Amino acid sequence: MQTTPKALIYSILDNDFYKITMQQGVIRLFPAAKAKYKFINRGKHAFPEGFSAALRQAVNEMALLKLSKEEKQFLKVTCPYLDPVYLDFLAGYRFNPDEVHIEQTGEELIVHIEGLWYRTILWEVPLMSLICELFYTMNHAERISNEEVVNRTREKIEKYRELGITVAEFGTRRRHSYQVQRLVLQALTDYGAGSFIGTSNVHLAMLHQTKPIGTHAHEWFMFHAAQYGFKMANAMGLEHWVQVYRGDLGIALSDTYTTDVFFRQFDKMFSKLFDGVRHDSGDPLDFADQVIAHYEHMGIDPKSKTIIFSDGLDYEKVARIARYCRNRVGMSFGIGTNFTNDAGPKAMNIVIKMTEAQPKDGEWTEVVKLSDEPGKHTGTEATIKLAKVILSIPQQTQ
């Protein structure tokens, strides 16, 4: 039996910012809703003996995390749209490890999360971070030196600056380790002036005095489908986001039920009110054309809006997108794994997705994500097929 290493989460804010912003929305609008999440091993990674016990230990240790006075003050000053009631709630929040079910059968890892949505919403990102870090540690995977991590990051951000674009770091979920992400953020802060604009990781944003970046994720719209039905999910999700944030945090995620469906409901009011949209699947150049055409149809100058590109980016992909979009539409880039898991070992291909939701006084309802890439759909085959019928999406062969 291998010894059980530790892979700790060091701060309750070591999480993606959109989890914080969504949590405030859930508390305000859906405090009695419940949710279930499931770990999906897309890369078919084989987990070593004892992995589930090591993960359980790390998850149990997260119960000790709490918001510090300094962290609360950082959020108060940096994020004025987080209201005092929510910040007081977060100061009292503690992770409950009983919400996380972990087991292992041979080399297969099984992880489920279940509980009140406003509580369980914070588990996904740190759990994925722990799974990655433990996987490399327990497999004794060697990584490049700290100096090389910094040098690689420096070279990347300098090349992005030469492209004349802005870049944020989005790599918490599938980072190599906490230490590597710290090194990456230090390098971006030291060498990224004129290009680096912030990070999705709230804890590291505070440490490096940069901007926490994010709005909402697919689960926001997935829950709205459980509450209001597939046809109303995008519109109600956007409506409720506006209700909570009143114009702040104005980048809308477009591909929960395919971009085509999204733009049917992204009417002139939403198009004017939101600052732009985020691209997370499908061909980025086709998406740019679609966004530009949509804004032009609405009588809105596309150059006054922004596309945040965030789907599996590296330098070559970013350069191609930047050349295509320049002087046509505003753009910025969220780069994840290529920053935080370019340290030697192959990056893991894993996700944790909401699988079911239970609105107040409702029943458990299966939820799905219909990405612009069929291979990234999540949900049962039957519910995916039903959603496509309801939303008039062609039944692709997969």
**66-89: per-residue pLDDT in tens?**
999 999 999 999 999 999 999 999
**What one-letter code names the amino acid at 55?**
L
pLDDT tens readout for residues 201-246: 999 999 999 999 999 999 999 999 999 999 999 999 999 999 999 9
Q: Using pLDDT thresholds of 50, 70 and 90, give the confidence band for residue 3.
A: very low
pLDDT tens readout for residues 264-287: 999 999 999 999 999 999 999 999
**What one-letter code names the amino acid at 259?**
T
Whats the size of the chain, residue-wise? 398
d(CA 293, CA 277): 13
d(CA 14, CA 336): 15
The answer to whether the CB of 187 falls within 8 A of the CB of 150 is yes
The token pair that represents 218 in the structure block: 């697919």
d(CA 301, CA 73): 38
d(CA 198, CA 6): 28
Entry pTM: 0.96
Q: Using pLDDT thresholds of 50, 70 and 90, give the confidence band for residue 396.
A: low
Domains identified in the chain and CATH numbers: 17-142+346-367 (3.20.140.10), 146-215+250-340 (3.20.140.10)
Give the whole-number percent of the chain exceeding pLDDT 90.
94
The answer to whether the CB of 163 falls within 8 A of the CB of 196 is no
Strands, E, within the chain: which ranges?
34-40, 100-105, 108-116, 167-169, 196-199, 211-212, 251-253, 276-279, 306-309, 330-335, 351-358, 365-366
For 149-177, give the DSSP string: HHHHHHHHHHHHHHHT--EEE--STT-S-
Going by C-alpha positions, the residue among 114, 111, 175 that lies closest to residue 352 is 111
What is the reported pLDDT for 395? 78
Mean pLDDT over all residues of the chain?
95
CA 172 to each of CA 137, 220, 342, 375: distance values in angstroms, whole numbers, following the listed order: 17, 19, 13, 23
d(CA 131, CA 135): 6
Half-sphere exposure of 159 (CA within 13 A, CB side): 13
Average pLDDT over residues 329-350: 97
Contacts of residue 329, Cβ cutoff 8 Å, sequence gap at least 6? 288, 291, 292, 295, 302, 303, 305, 306, 307
First CA to last CA distance, the chain: 41
What is the reported pLDDT for 374? 77
Give the whole-number percent of the chain exceeding pLDDT 70.
97
- The DSSP 8-state label assigned to residue 248 in this structure reads S
Going by C-alpha positions, the residue among 78, 328, 316 that lies closest to residue 198 is 78
Partners of residue 169 on adjacent β-strands: 199, 335
Phi then psi for residue 253, to 5 deg, are -85, 130
Phi then psi for residue 275, to 5 deg, are -70, -20
d(CA 299, CA 294): 9
pLDDT tens readout for residues 141-187: 999 999 999 999 999 999 999 999 999 999 999 999 999 999 999 99
Residue reference for tokens 């910094």 = 150
